[in-house]
Amino acid sequence: MLSIIREIKLGFTELFPGGRFRYVLVVLSMLAAVISVSELLVMKFFVNIVVQEGEIERNRFILLGSGIAIFFILTRVSQYYQRVYRVKAFARSFKSLRKLKKRGAKNPEWAMAFEVSNILTQATQVIAVLAFTLIIEPVFAAVNFLVVLVILAVIGRIFAKQLKVQQELQVERDGKRARPQKRYGTRIKAAELGSLFAGFGIAVLLGVLLLMSYNGDISLANTLILFFGTRLQNGSLTSTSRSLMRYAKAKAGAKNPDEDNE
C-alpha cells in the first residue's frame, strides 16, 4: 500500500503545479466522496420507506419518494459535472506546467493525470464509505477496515511489480519493443488480478454481514444499507486496481515519445 501512496503522490506533484491546480483536484475528489455518501443516504431513506411503507400515510409516502428521486438526480448531475470539469482543470494545469517545463504534456501524461484523479476519487469514496459504516455499525466497520487494508496491500504489491514490468516492456530488443498485445495484456491481467482479490475481500465482508444479520446483531434496514455500501466499496477498489495498472502503463509510455495511449 505504501507503494501506491508514494507513486501517486509523486505523480500528483509532477503533473499538477502547486497552488490552485492541486486544490481544484482535491476539491473534485472530495466532491466525489460527498456524492458517494449522498447515495448511501438516499439508499438508507429508501430502505426505511420500504420497510415502513405500511405505516406511512399515502401523501407523505409520495412526498418522500419524490424527494428521494430528486435528490438522486441531483447526485447524478453533480457527478456528471465533476467528471467533465476535470478535463478543463487538467488543460489549465498542463498549460501552467508547460511554462515551467518549456514543453506541452504528452498523451501518456494526460492518461496519468486522469488515473491520478480517478485514484484520488476512489480513495475518498472508500474513506467515505468506511466513515459511514462506522456510524451505522462500528463492529462491522472494524472488520471492513481490516479487509480493505489487506486488499490494498495486495493491490499495492501487484502495482509495484507492474511498474517494473511495463518499464521493461518499453525497452527495445532487437530494434523492437514488445508487441501491443503483450503490453496491454500484461496490464489488463494485473488489473483484473487486483479486482479479483478485491472481490474475495468483499465476499468475506458479505459473509460477516449475513452472520451478523442472522444472529440479530444488526437491523434489517442497516443490513441492506451496509450491503449497498459494501458493493459501492467493491466498485471503488476494483476501479482503483484498474486505474493503478493503467497509470503504470502510461508512466512507462511517458518516457517513450512513440508510445500510443489508450
For each of the domains in the chain, give its residue range(s) and CATH number, in order of start: 2-254 (1.20.1560)
- Nearest Cα neighbor of 30 from 117, 151, 145, 90 is 117
Model confidence pLDDT, tens digit, residues 3-42: 888 888 888 877 777 667 777 777 877 777 777 777 777 7
pTM assigned to the model: 0.80
pLDDT tens-digit series, residues 188-233: 999 999 999 999 999 999 999 999 998 989 888 888 889 988 988 9
Of 71 and 246, more confident = 246
Smallest Cα–Cα separation from 236: which of 150, 152, 134, 137?
152
Task: Check: CB of residue 72 under 8 Å from CB of residue 80.
Answer: no
pLDDT at residue 258, as a whole number:
54
Is pLDDT at 101 greater than 60 in this prediction?
no
Q: Which amino acid is at 146?
A: L
Q: Retrieve residue 11's grid coordinates.
A: 505523480
| DSSP three-state, residue 176 | strand
Confidence tier at 261 by pLDDT (50, 70, 90): very low
Please check whether residue 82 is in contact with residue 117, taking contact to mean a CB–CB distance below 8 angstroms.
no
- Sequence-distant (≥ 6) Cβ neighbours of residue 239 within 8 angstroms: 118, 122
121-126-128-129 Cα dihedral, nearest 10 degrees: 140
Structural contact between residues 155 and 194, judged by C-beta atoms closer than 8 angstroms: yes
Residue 167 has pLDDT above 80, yes or no: yes
* Residue 225 identity (one-letter amino acid): I
For residue 179, give every residue at least 6 positions away whose Cβ sits within 8 Å of its Cβ, in sequence order, or none.
Answer: none
